[in-house]
Amino acid sequence: MTFSAATARAGPPLTLRVHGDRLVTIDQARLPFEVIELGLRDASDCAHAIVTMQVRGAPLIGAVAGFGLALALRAAADDTALDAALERLAATRPTAVNLRWALERVRARVRPLPVDARAAAAWDEAVAIADEDVAINAAIGVHGAALLRGVAARRAAAGRPVDAAAPLQVLTHCNAGRLATVAHGTALAPIYALHAAGVPLHVWVDETRPRNQGASLTAWELADAGVPCTVIADNAGGLLMREGRVDAVIVGCDRVARNGDVANKIGTYLKALAARDSGVPFWVACPTPTVDRSLADGAAIPIEYRDPREVTHALGRGADGTPAELRLVPDGVAALNPAFDVTPARLVDALITEHGPCAASETGLGTLPPFAACG
Amino acid sequence: MTFSAATARAGPPLTLRVHGDRLVTIDQARLPFEVIELGLRDASDCAHAIVTMQVRGAPLIGAVAGFGLALALRAAADDTALDAALERLAATRPTAVNLRWALERVRARVRPLPVDARAAAAWDEAVAIADEDVAINAAIGVHGAALLRGVAARRAAAGRPVDAAAPLQVLTHCNAGRLATVAHGTALAPIYALHAAGVPLHVWVDETRPRNQGASLTAWELADAGVPCTVIADNAGGLLMREGRVDAVIVGCDRVARNGDVANKIGTYLKALAARDSGVPFWVACPTPTVDRSLADGAAIPIEYRDPREVTHALGRGADGTPAELRLVPDGVAALNPAFDVTPARLVDALITEHGPCAASETGLGTLPPFAACG
């Protein structure tokens, strides 16, 4: 199933679609209480959607940025305009590497071409990026499902078989589901694959303050797909792991350094520590475009700091059913809002790539083919 | 400074006061946006205030429960009534050991007495418990401040002296401040002591979902006392420790087992893991009444599960300035709400008791005198 053919055939639910000359996606800032389509008609729309997190998730950001650059070239496609549009889009979010990767890929494709051929070629390249994202995530789903089946087999061997009364228990942080990608998701792809195969599963969903992507997005998409899940405070996962109530942790990633250090949503590192302390496998679903081979280790990954208002306030639905915002922190008290942290490679049991699992190390990443479409 | 004399002399701000025949405290469920006095006239008022977390914090719960039992005995003080009142109050919260400790202490005091002498004696015993809490916490403040001065000295020796531009950085979780006690607080007592001594300090305050005791109570009382602080999401502390931006972590506790395992607010364990991983001292402010020598280790500590609504919803102040509640999780999605976790003793660098710091171990706790008032 690919993106370009998706509108014509049955396939996975797509978070991003092409409709005529524009993109259509879901406004994720309005989920889970309002499911509103968002049309993106030009590069400014795309940049605005990324900055405001109407679209988020490293792979989806990459795809939208690719289309955004293609849309920019419809207005002006000379070298100056190309470079300026690329930089405008690249500046929207600093941590996810897919953003710049997708933009550079589109630029490399169109730069050798005559100016008047660039916009169409860029659009084709953006479609290819989106197609590949769908294929990559489907492959991650297959490989991750095999890892989870291994956990289920070990549980059975230990006398605790996975069944409807005792499902496989997976904990995830933030949203690395279909909403974070063009389709399938990364961390949730193995869960969807196993669920489709009839394996009893239950997902512990970290709320993921301050933006609550777990409570709002992951809970919404898992419930929408019929996968049993329970939302917990970000503070709770350590206790559940200590009590043997988590069989595996799977998270996504925004950028992976050459040594296997993983930048992902703030709080990921704490769950990796807890998983290691309780002997729970900690896996990172990692499309190879998220690997940044230019960085020796995670210390070089830029950490985005977002508006402290995300910490001092919470968004949700009021008693009257409408979206509302609450202040949580006393007036005059400051807040700090780092959006990502870096989990050291030593705490990662495997990176689940589209080529299969690999060790989170320079050696492990070295076993992978140079990035190329795998579909 | 003691509780009983507090109304007559200058002293620390008291969270609990006696006013005529009733208790007066602050309704902590309304903080930080409304500072409302709460009068407790009888045992039912006390039990209700504990269940609804209008009063919370292990030491404060113990004191209020002691007064609650004394108030119950005014109505009926025979053995049956005494035992029934004790069990009603003991059932309000399961994790904090101070609750049952205070109740048993009041019962032991009055049981040998004639029925008509019991209510007055129980009141005296509750006053003694409250007095001792003030003294214990003042002593914890002195001992904890000495530990923090040691950290400051090591920073100076490493060429990073503590000064106004680079204050001592302490991270705390939940609220173990004056609001959790009769006065001074436990984890915050060393901070107040150092602040009073003019040492430049800054406190990272974990929001502490789902009840947000950090964002609401700790931020409120630190700001009220003029101590610089910044609220962060519970997810953020690991990153800050990795980046060297935390000099020490100090938390309170609800029950400590004989081997030094510490039950405290959910999420404490994750911060202990992160502190160990980054070489940051992790200290638990531990009044000896919080040690439960009847339990061999933390596995035996009962963990309270509270209403999932605390996870699916958030409380705060709406745009119109009034208290409001938001739903965060999609309709139909479940939530789980464990209120405490257990930090293994191996992750605790010291218990700061009123007798001084000790190792979190049976040997360490064995060096302490049997619990007795230290003031």
All residues at 6 or more sequence positions from A17 whose CB lies less than 8 Å from its CB, including other chains: A6, A7, A23, A24, A25
Chain A contact probe: residue of B171, B179, B270, B340 with most A CBs at under 10 A: B270
Task: Note the pLDDT of residue B116.
Answer: 97
pLDDT in the model for residue B373: 39
Residue A320 pLDDT class (50, 70, 90 cuts):
confident
Angle at A163 between CA A158 and CA A169, to 5 degrees: 75
Spell out where B164-265 has E strands: 168-172, 201-206, 229-232, 248-251, 255-257, 262-265
Please say if the pLDDT value at position A259 is more than 50: yes
Could B239 and A273 be called an inter-chain contact, meaning their C-beta atoms sit closer than 8 Å? no
This complex has an ipTM of 0.94
Which residues neighbour A252 within 8 Å (Cβ) at sequence distance 6 or greater?
A57, A58, A174, A175, A176, A180, A185, A186, A187, A264, A265, A284, A285, A286
- B43-51 and B79-90 are packed helices; what angle lies between their axes, rounded to 10 degrees? 20
Q: Is B317 on the interface with A (CB under 8 A)?
A: yes
The answer to whether A317 and A31 have CB atoms below 8 angstroms apart is no
Q: How far is CA B18 from CA A325, B24, B89, in A?
A: 38, 6, 19
* DSSP conformational letter for B181: S
Question: Which of A5-14, A63-72, B201-210, B232-241 has the lowest average pLDDT?
Answer: A5-14
B 283-312 near A (Cβ less than 8 A)? 303, 311-312
What is the enclosing helix (H) or strand (E) of A7? none
Buried b (16+ CB within 10 A) or exposed e, A53-84: bbbbbbbbbbbbbbbbbbbbbeeebeeeebee
**DSSP class of B305:** B
B316 to chain A, any CB pair closer than 8 A? The answer is yes
- How far the first Cα of chain A sits from its last, in Å, is 9
In the prediction, which pLDDT does B5 show? 60
B positions 243-282 inside 8 Å of A (CB):
265-267, 269-271, 273-274, 277
Between the CA atoms of A313, A318, A319 and A322, what dihedral angle is there, to the nearest 10 degrees? Answer: 170
Predicted TM-score (pTM) of the model is: 0.94
Q: What pLDDT does residue A371 have?
A: 57
Q: Is B35 on the interface with A (CB under 8 A)?
A: no
Name the minimum distance, in Å, from the CA of A324 to any CA of chain B: 7
Give bridge partners of residue B19 from the DSSP assignment. B22
Nearest-by-Cβ selection for B235 from A216, A266, A313? A266
Which residue, among A12, A355, A16, has the nearest Cα to A182 in the 3D structure? Answer: A16
CA distance A176 to A254: 10
C-alpha angle with apex A147: A142 to A149, nearest 5 degrees? 90
* Active-site option among B45, B133, B254, B349: B254
In this structure, the strands spanning B168-172 and B201-206 are: parallel
Q: Is B170 helix (H, G, I), strand (E, B) or coil?
A: strand
Among the listed residues B157, B72, B77, the one whose alpha carbon sits nearest the alpha carbon of residue B115: B77
pLDDT score at B372:
47
Q: Quick check: A266 and B342 CB within 8 A?
A: no
Query: Tokens 């915002």, residue?
Result: A325
Neighbours of B85 (CB within 10 A): 25
Angle at A131 between CA A130 and CA A137, to 5 degrees: 90
CB contact under 8 A, B338 and A239: yes
Indicate which residue of A247, A254, A341, A349 is catalytic: A254
* CB contact (8 A) between residue A265 and residue B235: yes
Give the pLDDT band (50/70/90) at residue A7.
Answer: very low
Degrees, nearest 5: CA angle A108-A114-A116: 110
Query: Would strands A248-251 and A282-285 be described as parallel, antiparallel, or unpaired?
Result: parallel
Q: What is the pLDDT of residues A186-232, one digit of tens each?
A: 999 999 999 999 999 999 999 999 999 999 999 999 999 999 999 99
Report the alpha-carbon distance of residue B62 to residue B129 in Å, rounded. Answer: 8
- Ranges of chain B whose pLDDT falls below 50: 1, 7-8, 372-375
Cβ pair A141, A190 in contact under 8 A: yes
Please list, in sequence order, all residues whose beta carbon lies within 8 angstroms of the beta carbon of residue B224, skipping any fewer than 6 positions away.
none
Peptide bond preceding A357 in cis form (omega within 30 of 0)? no
Question: What average pLDDT score do residues A75-89 get?
Answer: 97
* Adjacent-strand bridge partners of A317: A323, B327
Is the confidence at residue A372, as pLDDT, over 70? no
A254: annotated active-site residue: yes
- Cβ atoms of residues A98 and A61 within 8 Å: yes
- Phi, then psi, of A282 in degrees rounded to 5: -120, 110
CA distance A210 to A307: 10
Interface of B with A in 168-227 (CB under 8 A): 204, 207-210, 212, 215-216, 219-220, 223
The beta strand positions in chain B, using DSSP E, are 16-19, 22-26, 37-40, 168-172, 201-206, 229-232, 248-251, 255-257, 262-265, 282-285, 291-292, 313-317, 323-327, 334-335, 340-343, 350-353, 356-358
Q: What is the mean pLDDT of residues A160-173?
A: 98
CB-CB neighbours of A15 under 10 Å: 27
Residue B57's pLDDT is: 93
Q: Check if A239 contacts B (Cβ < 8 Å).
A: yes
3-state helix, strand, coil in chain B (%, to 5): 40, 20, 40
